[in-house]
Structures are given as C-alpha cells and as structure tokens.
Chain A
Amino acid sequence: MQAAAAVMEVTMSLNEPSAAASRVEVADDVDEESLAEVMRVVPLGAGVLAGSAVALLVLGYLAIYLLVFLPRGTVG
C-alpha cells in the first residue's frame, strides 16, 4: 500500500495542473554535444543499412540474370 502511494506521488500529483509537470513526463536533460554526435552518426548508419540492402538485392538480380536467365537461351 505504501509502495502504491509512493508511485502515485512520483507519477502524478493532484495539485499539478498537467501531467507534463510530473517528473517522469519531463524529457531527459539533453547533452547538446552528444545529440550532435548522434545526429551525425545515425543518418550515416541508416544510409549504410539501406545501401547494403539494395546492394544485396542488385547482387541477387545479377546472379539470377547471369547464371540462370542468360544460359537458358534465346527467346522472342
């Protein structure tokens, strides 16, 4: 019962006008340098991931084209 009351106290207070004032709802302090570092690295990682996926797709296409499609011969 005491624990539940403590949780209530932490999560919200009836005297607070909005949930945004509650400590758990407030965003963490942001270290601007860390954020800048993240914003520099994460898009690069996304690009590498997407590029790798597309490269695998192209390799699969080329493998089927060269090893299966062309040896099957002419048609038209």
Chain B
Amino acid sequence: MSELHPEIHERRILGTELLWAVGVGILIAATLSTIVFTALTRDINPPSNVERIDPKTLHLSGEFTEQNLGTTVDADGAVTARVIATQFTFVPRCIAVPEGRRITMRFAAPDVIHGLLITGTNVNSMVVPGFVSQVHTEFTRTGHLLMPCHEYCGLGHSEMWATVQVVPQNEFKPDQDRRVACAKR
C-alpha cells in the first residue's frame, strides 16, 4: 500500500514527466543541431536574398531585359541564370546549366506572386513582384529537370513550367556573347 501513497505516487508522475521533457528537449536540440550542421558543412540554407527591383520596368531596362535572360558565364567563370516568371510562363522556358558547378539562379516577376521548384533538387523559392529571388545551387546529375510554378498564379497556372537542362561540363560551352542556350532535343 506504501506504493500508492499519494506523495510517492505524485513524485513518480513528476519524475516521469521530467524524464519525458528532458527527452523532448534532447530531440529538439538534436533537430536544431542537424539544421545548423547542414548549413555549416553542406551549405544547405533557405534562400534568403533580399533585393528590390521595380516590377513595372523589369522588361525595359536593367538586368532582366530580354537579351539578358537565360544562362550567362561571366569573365570570372561564374554561371548565372536569369529568369522571369510571368503569367503563365517562365522566360526562357529552358535553362541550360552545367553539372557539378556552383551556379546562381536569379528570378523576378512583373505581375503576381509565383513560386518554383526544380524536381529532384532542393531548389525551392517564391518569386515575389518587387524582389529578386536568388538561389545558389549545384546540380549533381545531368538530365532534364522539370521546373513548375508551385504558387497558384491564375487560370493558366497549371501550364506554367520550364525545363532545366543539366549538361556535362565539357558540353557546357558559352558562345561569343558568353551565353549558353539549351541544346535542341
């Protein structure tokens, strides 16, 4: 009967709850540590670029004019893909990128909020009018990857998608304007 003494019983319940709380605390700490560890060692972070751009003049001047869209290779070898997300297409609809090389993808929208992901990769970002969405990534395998809009943007939303063509490094050759277009399939 001593086991059922109220004080002992309550103490045992309290002990169990504390044990559970410690266990949950360890799990939360482990989860947060995993995120920090991944960010520091594998360079996997949520895209966090904050950069303003005027959506009304997007197509008239500056970085996102038509001749600047698509993939370019800078003089220092940095690869940048610039894409406009608009109702209901991505411009350009095919983006050529090299395999195994760090690239920068920059997106802007002139009309409404869009979103994008690239299948089989961790690339996933919103594209908000007035801001440039920037994602750094490295594609680890060649092939054609689907890049759909994943934020409902209007009646044609389901038709809004593009292709990312990941090519081997030896086939990724810029032309004299330092631009790379998708190979014809």
- Quick check: which of A6-14, A15-23, A39-47 contacts chain B, the rest being far away? A39-47
Contacts of B184 in A (CB 8 A): none
In the complex, what distance in Å separates the CA atom of A35 from the CA atom of B39?
52
Contacts of B20 in A (CB 8 A): 47, 50
Contact A75 B121 (CB under 8 A): yes
State the majority secondary structure of interface residues on B: mixed
Q: Which of A39, A61, A75 contacts B137 (CB 8 A)?
A: A75
- Quick check: which of B1-9, B50-58, B168-176 contacts chain A, the rest being far away? B1-9
* Total A-B contacts with CB atoms under 8 angstroms apart: 66
Q: How many residues of A contact B (CB 8 A)?
A: 21
State the majority secondary structure of interface residues on A: helix
Q: How many residues of B contact A (CB 8 A)?
A: 33
Closest partner residue, chain A, to B3 (CB atom): A36
Contact B27 A58 (CB under 8 A): yes
Closest partner residue, chain B, to A75 (CB atom): B122
In the complex, what distance in Å separates the CA atom of A57 from the CA atom of B41?
25
In the complex, what distance in Å separates the CA atom of A31 from the CA atom of B145?
69
Can you list 16 A-B contacts (CB < 8 A)?
A: A36-B4, A39-B3, A40-B3, A70-B38, A70-B42, A71-B140, A73-B44, A74-B43, A74-B122, A74-B137, A75-B135, A76-B44, A76-B48, A76-B135, A76-B136, A76-B137
